[in-house]
Amino acid sequence: MIIIMLGAPATGKGTVASILSKRLNVPQLSTGDLFRKNISEKTELGIMAEEYISKGNLVPDEVTINMIIKRLNEDDTKNGAILDGFPRTIPQAEALDKFLADKNIKIDMVLNLTTPEEEIIQRVVTRRVCSNPHCKTIYNTKLNPPKIEGICDKCGSKVITRKDDNVEAIKTRLKQYFKLTNPLVDFYDKKGVLTTEEVSEKINRMGKDVAEDIAQKLLKK
């Protein structure tokens, strides 16, 4: 089972992907997590990625494609995966199509999340994340802060602000998203695999609500 998560930054892709991963018993592959792991370990890829990510720019296609394909060849993805943050451009999508076609694997769903831009910016500047790479629990200082300020509820590690979680970086990322990534909506819509869901406080429908509905839909197939 292959599920692709689409949506601008801070629309809840990670939250939805995490819930679907547990419900469907397939791994969540987050490009953001893979890049952050390499950055923290100061690998050659990590140093290269940080130069782009810290400025709110996208990592070049070639680097991202090779990283994801290598990950999809690992044993734990034999029953499928949830791609969170990939593809982000048409060339990435085309490279993924070729890889899956060679293995006779189909895409089950492309889930496109939408959120009003003002909500996205507010979520980003108030977002905090557990510094433990094995935990990575996400908090929000307004919506769901940790019980003890600065300390993760689940593992007790320090809760931090990501370097790219600021107004300037998110505005750059949003501009790039609508220019480079939003065309993927049409790309996958034409293939008949696109499902669009709104995640917004205004309609009282958050990521966990969407995830539960989608999980039930897929499990009935």
* Residues taking part in catalysis: 13, 88, 127, 162, 173
Per residue, what are the HEC states of the chain?
Answer: CEEEEEECCCCCHHHHHHHHHHHHCCCEEEHHHHHHHHHHCCCHHHHHHHHHHCCCCCCCHHHHHHHHHHHHCCHHHCCCEEEECCCCCHHHHHHHHHHHHHCCCCCCEEEEEECCHHHHHHHHHCEEEECCCCCCCEEECCCECCCECCECCCCCCEEECCCCCCHHHHHHHHHHHHHHHCHHHHHHHCCCCEEEEECEHHHCECHHHHHHHHHHHHHCC
The two structure tokens encoding residue 219: 């499990």
- Among all chains, which residue has been given the structure tokens 């709104």? 198
CA distances from 54 to 7, 140, 141 (A): 20, 20, 22
Do 63 and 9 touch, CB atoms closer than 8 A? no
